[in-house]
């Protein structure tokens, strides 16, 4: 498949825009002076950042071949991180390779194709930064529309007192970032059964989802060498979902027609009418953003001396407008791997305010060992 290729290198404001959209107030990624005082000596991008430049959120190699009258949702992402950090001035390109698929019967969409594809993110030096194995769920648009829930199409209403309590609850996780600061979270101090601090954000809205969309570099007009091997109709997207999203020829003529916020398969996220057309009750969030939330949650806990090395995320249900997202995690193991790295295994989950599961993940995080 054609690779995703950036035109301009990343800038610090691209990094800032991303963490702001992802609700991740880690000063390493937006505060220049704080970054200079860190072990890195400068502002760095979060580990979740590579996916910002890919023109399909990593889904391109997991959405190939014609499935007539179909739509696609994100089913999960598996990530491996190899060490190089992204900083301003870097370019990243993505080598995309389809992996496998299987077809299963589902209540939501009838015969449903679960398709996976790999993304290899390299920097301009040829260093492998990260690998993403994305899962796409491809199903009948008509079946999805017929099974659209009808009992929760209105956003829940939050009272002023509830919103104020939510802000206090959100700040508890942010306080953890401040308390850790530039210090290391040592592997020796972590025990099986330890609970990670709760992280809360939301309520989600069309505005917050739009902010997410605009933080992806590829959504900016002229930001990418667009693929010429991409045709939404040839993939099977149907009717109003088969617009010329990401089309390079149309971008030069009328870029609004190529902007997935307005036209094409991505429009369902931001317009409830089109959300219901493909089976969602109201505006809904982006799968790749859910993956970023998981990576950021783990990386924020690990601190600047730690690193998420691997995570395997399963997306159960998207975040919907009006809902909040609550993240929790538990340490399930501590071990030294074959490379001599001091690792912590963590299971994490995301739920909404009603306890409905949005995503689960298992991850391995490298931490520093306390000096002897």
- Exposed (0-12), middle (13-18) or buried (19+): which is 192, by Cβ within 10 Å? exposed
Confidence of residue 195 (pLDDT cuts 50, 70, 90): very high
pLDDT of residue 180: 98
Q: Which residues pair with 199 in a beta bridge?
A: 327
Nearest CA to 29 out of 300, 311, 294, 326 is that of 300
pTM: 0.97
Confidence of residue 275 (pLDDT cuts 50, 70, 90): very high
Distance CA 250, CA 262 (A): 14
Mean pLDDT across the stretch 192-197? 98
- The per-residue pLDDT of the chain, averaged, comes to 96
Q: What is the dihedral of CA 29, 202, 75, 85, to 10 degrees?
A: 0
Q: Is residue 18 part of a domain?
A: yes
CATH at 252: 3.10.129.10
Which domain, by its residues, includes 261? 4-366
Confidence of residue 372 (pLDDT cuts 50, 70, 90): confident
Distance CA 35, CA 44 (A): 7
pLDDT of residue 210: 97
> What is the percent of the chain where pLDDT is above 90?
94
Query: How long a stretch of residues is the chain?
Result: 372
Q: How many domains does the chain have?
A: 1
pLDDT of residue 100: 97
Average the pLDDT over each of 4-18, 124-138, 226-240, 314-328 and give the range with the smallest value: 226-240
Task: Give residue-wise pLDDT tens across range 261-272.
Answer: 999 999 999 999
Q: Is residue 325 part of a domain?
A: yes
pLDDT of residue 44: 98
Q: Is residue 155 part of a domain?
A: yes
Task: Give residue-wise pLDDT tens across range 24-39.
Answer: 999 999 999 999 999 9
Mean pLDDT across the stretch 188-212? 97
Cα distance from N-terminal residue to C-terminal residue, the chain? 49
Average the pLDDT over each of 187-191, 239-243, 252-256 and give the range with the smallest value: 239-243
And the tokens for 316? 């159960």
Task: Give residue-wise pLDDT tens across range 51-92.
Answer: 999 988 999 999 999 999 999 999 999 999 999 999 999 999
pLDDT of residue 239: 86
> What is the percent of the chain where pLDDT is above 70?
100
Whether the upstream peptide bond of residue 138 has omega within 30° of 0, thus cis, is: no
Q: Is residue 372 part of a domain?
A: no
Q: Is residue 236 part of a domain?
A: yes
Task: Give residue-wise pLDDT tens across range 164-175.
Answer: 999 999 999 999
Q: How many CB atoms lie within 10 A of CB 294?
A: 27
């Amino acid at each position: 498949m054609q690779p995703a290729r950036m035109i301009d290198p990343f800038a610090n404001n691209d990094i800032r825009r991303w963490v702001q959209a992802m609700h991740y107030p880690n000063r390493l990624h937006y505060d220049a002076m704080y970054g200079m005082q860190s072990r890195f000596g400068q502002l760095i991008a979060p580990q979740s950042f590579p996916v910002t430049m890919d023109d399909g959120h990593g889904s391109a190699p997991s959405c190939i071949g014609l499935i007539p009258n179909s739509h696609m949702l994100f089913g999960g992402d598996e990530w491996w991180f190899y060490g190089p950090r992204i900083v301003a001035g870097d370019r990243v390109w993505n080598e995309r390779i389809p992996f496998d698929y299987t077809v299963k019967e589902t209540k939501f969409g009838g015969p449903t194709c679960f398709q996976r594809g790999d993304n290899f993110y390299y920097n301009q030096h040829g260093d492998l930064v990260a690998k993403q194995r994305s899962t796409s769920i491809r199903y009948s648009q008509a079946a999805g529309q017929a099974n659209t829930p009808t009992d929760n199409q209105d956003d829940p209403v939050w009272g002023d007192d509830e919103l104020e309590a939510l802000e206090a609850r959100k700040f508890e996780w942010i306080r953890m970032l401040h308390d850790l600061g530039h210090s290391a979270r040592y592997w020796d101090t972590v025990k099986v059964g330890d609970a990670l601090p709760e992280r809360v954000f939301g309520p989600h809205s069309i505005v917050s989802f739009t902010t997410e969309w605009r933080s992806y570099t590829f959504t900016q007009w002229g930001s990418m060498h667009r693929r010429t091997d991409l045709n939404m109709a040839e993939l099977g997207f149907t009717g109003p979902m088969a617009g010329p999203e990401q089309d390079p020829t149309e971008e030069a003529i009328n870029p609004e027609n190529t902007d997935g916020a307005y036209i094409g398969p991505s429009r369902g996220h931001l317009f409830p009418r089109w959300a219901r057309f493909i089976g969602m009750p109201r505006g809904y969030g982006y799968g790749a953003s859910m993956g970023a939330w998981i990576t950021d949650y783990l990386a924020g806990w690990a601190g600047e001396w730690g690193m998420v090395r691997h995570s395997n995320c399963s997306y159960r249900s998207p975040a919907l407008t009006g809902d909040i997202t609550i993240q929790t995690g538990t340490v399930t193991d501590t071990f030294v791997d074959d490379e001599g790295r001091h690792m912590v295994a963590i299971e994490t989950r995301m739920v909404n305010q009603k306890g409905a599961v949005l995503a689960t993940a298992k991850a391995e995080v490298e931490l520093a060992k306390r000096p002897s």
